Structure 1
Amino acid sequence: MSGNKQTSESFILSAILSLSGGLQDAYTYNVRGNVFANAQTGNVVLMSQSFMMGNVKTGLKYLIPIVAFALGIILSEQIEHRLKNAEKVHWRQVILTVEIILLGIVGFLPQESNMIANIMVSLSCAMQVQSFRKVQGFGYASTMCIGNIRSGTESLSRYLRSREQKDIRKTSYYYGIIFFFAIGAGLGGLISGIWGIYTIWFSVLLLLIDILIMIRE
């Protein structure tokens, strides 16, 4: 903890989470059957389209990660409720540890197990977005961009009108997070062509760095 800000809200930790989030989305899309791990809106669109066209099997391919994402939110909330007052370990460190275990296992799963892999990555992404929701005190999402784009652009508009430094500072945080998410997605797409199913282990490394940051503080 630094001042009134928690370590989990620091920009560096949030940037690493976003880097990991972008990589995970690129990984499941490029390596695990064109399914999004984080962008559940995209999965809903593709699911509905498939069902409407009578492609039930394809529709289920997109529905199952959506359900897994919802279950991840529930699991994260339950862990927070049970461990929020724990003295020996921070509940967010437990969340990151569970994510690392899930993603570490995903790297061992063959292409024939893409559905299981997508379930585990979506579960992990949901736990992350539920548990890490602020950067420097401002609400954000580490695994998707639309909300961050809206909030960052709103702050930019306010700055253009008010010229207040707090607005441009807020804008920089949001666009910084978007930048790191984009870098993560780009790296994920690039590395996927080289490492294939093992690409997800790069995300594991990033989450380990975040745990070390939290432990140090």
Structure 2
Amino acid sequence: MAQKLWHHRGQMSEAFRTVMFLSASGGLQDAYTYIGRGKVFANAQTGNIVLMSQAAFDGDLARVLHYLVPLLSFALGVAVAEAIRIRYREAKRLHWRQLVLVVEILLLFGVGFIPNTLDMAANALVSFACAMQVQAFRKVHGYPFASTMCIGNLRSGMESLVVYLHLHDKKVLYKALHYFGVILLFAIGAGLGAQGVAVFGNRTIWFSCALLLVSLCFMFIQDEEQARRETE
């Protein structure tokens, strides 16, 4: 079962070994912005909407802007990722998802240099990058999932677990394990992010860059293996 979970013959962007680093990175990003950048969620925009609404009813316009900016940045990130997909989906040298990861890594690397006096700009960039990731990577082994948030994964995981207990179908259990694995990795990333902020401060986001770089390398390795098989 563990070996099946790891290997995947389809798109490398859907392989668990690619997704595991994306999920850990997503958790780290959320912990980074919430703990180190003024209690703003990079991924969980539902939380930002709740806090923004609270500020609006309190008449605190500065706090409204504090949460509105990352929310709008997230929406823009989704739009840009989709535009990249449309523009580069037929590209041969570089898959459009690889291009998204490259852009995300560069943006997050730049965030590490932004001082806390510009937290709003830092949160906007992280939210933008997160949105690109969640838009580009939406499946693991063919199962719909989110690498930057947990509620959908938790729902799908529990649904699959209940179906397995009823039907005893190992394929359904296999599906449930994917979702629980992604949630666990997200939590590990969040924990690492929280500890990192206390030690490395704003540069903690560079660990997220490193995780994304591993996923990017896996995607390139898959491309090379596939190209070699086609020439044999």
Q: TM-score range by the shorter chain?
A: over 0.9
What is the identity percentage for the equivalent residue pairs of Structure 1 and Structure 2? 53
Which one of the candidate residues 69, 74, 78 is aligned to 1:69? 74
Aligned mates of 1:93, 1:53 — CA distance in 2: 43
User: 2-side partners of 1:147 and 1:86: how far apart?
Assistant: 31
RMSD: 0.9
Query: Which of 48, 53, 72 in structure 2 is aligned with 1:43?
Result: 48
How far the C-alpha of 1:2 sits from its partner, in A, is 5.4
Could you tell me how far apart the structure 1 residues matched to 2:116 and 2:184 are? 30
Structure 2 unaligned regions, length at least 5: 1-6, 223-232
Q: CA deviation at 1:12?
A: 1.0
> In the alignment, what sits opposite 1:177?
182
Give me the whole-angstrom Cα distance separating, in 2, the residues matched to 1:114 and 1:53. Answer: 22
- Pairwise mapping of residues 68-87 of structure 1 onto structure 2 (< 5 A)? 68-87=73-92
Aligned with 2:99 (options 70, 94, 113): 94
Question: Is the 2:160–2:173 contact (alpha carbons within 8 Å) kept by the matching residues of 1?
Answer: yes
For 1:94 and 1:2, locate their aligned partners in 2 and report how far apart those are by CA, in whole Å: 21
TM-score (normalised: structure 1): 0.98
Matched ranges for 1:9-48 at <5 A? 9-48=14-53
Quote the Cα distance in structure 2 between the aligned partners of 1:2 and 1:89: 20
Task: Flag as ranges the 4+ runs of structure 1 deviating above 3 A.
Answer: none
Q: What's 1:124 paired with?
A: 129
Q: What is the match of residue 146 of structure 1? A: 151
Q: CA deviation at 1:59?
A: 1.1
Unaligned residue ranges in structure 1 (runs of 5+): none
Aligned to 2:195: 190
Q: Is it true that 1:137 corresponds to 2:137 in the alignment? A: no
Q: Deviations over 1:117-142 (max 9, x none)?
A: 00000000000000000001000000
How many aligned positions are there? Answer: 216
CA–CA distance in 2 between the matches of 1:106 and 1:161? 48
In 1, Cα distance between the equivalents of 2:216 and 2:192? Answer: 21
TM-score by length of 2: 0.92
Alignment-mate amino acid for residue 166 of structure 1 = K
Q: Does 1:206 align with 2:211?
A: yes
CA deviation string 1:125-179 (max 9, x = no partner): 0000000000010000000000000000000010010000111000000000000
